[in-house]
Amino acid sequence: MTLLIQQFINGLSVGSIYALIALGYTLVYGIIKLINFAHGEVMMMGAYFAFLAVIVMGMPFLATLIFSMVLAALLGITIERVAYKPLRKAPRISALITAIGMSLFLQNLALVVFGATPKVMPTVIPKQPINIGGIQVGTVTIVTLVLSIFFMIVLDRFIKNTKPGKAMRAVSEDKEASVIMGINVNRTISITFAIGSALGALGGVLYSVAYTQIFPTMAVMPGLKAFVAAVLGGIGLIPGAMLGGFIIGMVETLTKAYISSQLSDAIVFGILILVLIVKPTGILGKNEKEKV
């Protein structure tokens, strides 16, 4: 029983990282209807930024986080400006191929700059397990969970209560109408990319702290799983991304603990296929048909 609870908490922690990354997919999809394949690589770059901040500049943990998130936000804005903006009116497949290209470009750039050998993330959070009523929980797990939930609340407040947040919702609802209403669409898209990328970087830093390794292809699997999480919860929906992230994290942890660690990836994609068959709009999605 205690073991199960322990796994449950681990699942929540892993899930919160997926949720953070899934938010980036969902925000961007909501606003420009593009699967931003490069999002996972922004997460990976975020981890490298944090590594540099700790090793080269010797920053403390919180400063590292902020440093990494700011740089990732800038990276996200740049990617959108360089690669996606020129293709807004192009066929969807062109934009998707660009996103794939961008994703690989960043991966290989990291490979050339940092090399293929994994970098080891130094222990930025002291790793002594905390004992709560007989249940052993790692500090990393707790910090991950707390930070993720904190930033999700911040995001929620931002979207609901601030002007740029409302603009984001308006643009994802109807781009043309937003232009007429005087919303600066380009700036709103940039803000969306910045926020999504910063959250992705946060996920990347937490991921690299939890798994201690940073390498150019580290984001491929968590990126994919986070996307599955976004679809599971309902792509384009912010609460959906969070819910999906937690579910996927939970499923993965429990599969690894009780079934097979090798199979866990296959099961996650099995879930995706199942969602597409049963309810393609996701758990929280409304069944709406495309307007013709």
277 binds other proteins per the rule CB under 8 A: yes
12 within 8 A of 246, measured Cβ to Cβ: yes
Residues 51, 56, 57: CA angle, nearest 5 degrees: 100
108 binds other proteins per the rule CB under 8 A: yes
Site string for other proteins, 163-202 (x = CB under 8 A): ----------------------------------------
User: Tokens 């199960």 map to which residue?
Assistant: 4
77 binds other proteins per the rule CB under 8 A: no
Q: How far is the CB of 265 from other proteins (least distance, A)?
A: 6
Distance CA 274, CA 263 (A): 16
Pick from 4, 104, 153, 181: which binds other proteins (CB under 8 A)? 104
Which tokens sit at 31? Answer: 């606003």
78 binds other proteins per the rule CB under 8 A: no
Q: How far is the CB of 252 from other proteins (least distance, A)?
A: 14
229 within 8 A of 22, measured Cβ to Cβ: yes
56 binds other proteins per the rule CB under 8 A: no
User: Tokens 């804005």 map to which residue?
Assistant: 77
Q: How far is the CB of 228 from other proteins (least distance, A)?
A: 7
* The amino acid at 51: F
* The amino acid at 107: Q
Residue 133, Ramachandran bin (φ over 0: left; ψ between -120 and 50: alpha; else beta): left
Specify which residues 131 forms β-bridges with. 136
Pick from 134, 161, 176, 289: which binds other proteins (CB under 8 A)? 289
Distance CA 76, CA 62 (A): 21
Nearer to other proteins, 74 or 97 (CB): 97
Which tokens sit at 278? Answer: 């049963």
Pick from 59, 95, 168, 229: which binds other proteins (CB under 8 A)? 95
Q: Which stretch binds other proteins (CB under 8 A): 67-75, 123-131, 193-201, 217-225?
A: 217-225
- 22's enclosing H/E stretch is helix 2-32
74 binds other proteins per the rule CB under 8 A: no
Residues that bind other proteins (CB under 8 A): 35, 82-83, 86-87, 90-98, 100-105, 107-109, 111-112, 220-221, 224, 227-228, 231, 262, 265-266, 268-269, 272-273, 276-277, 280, 289-290, 292
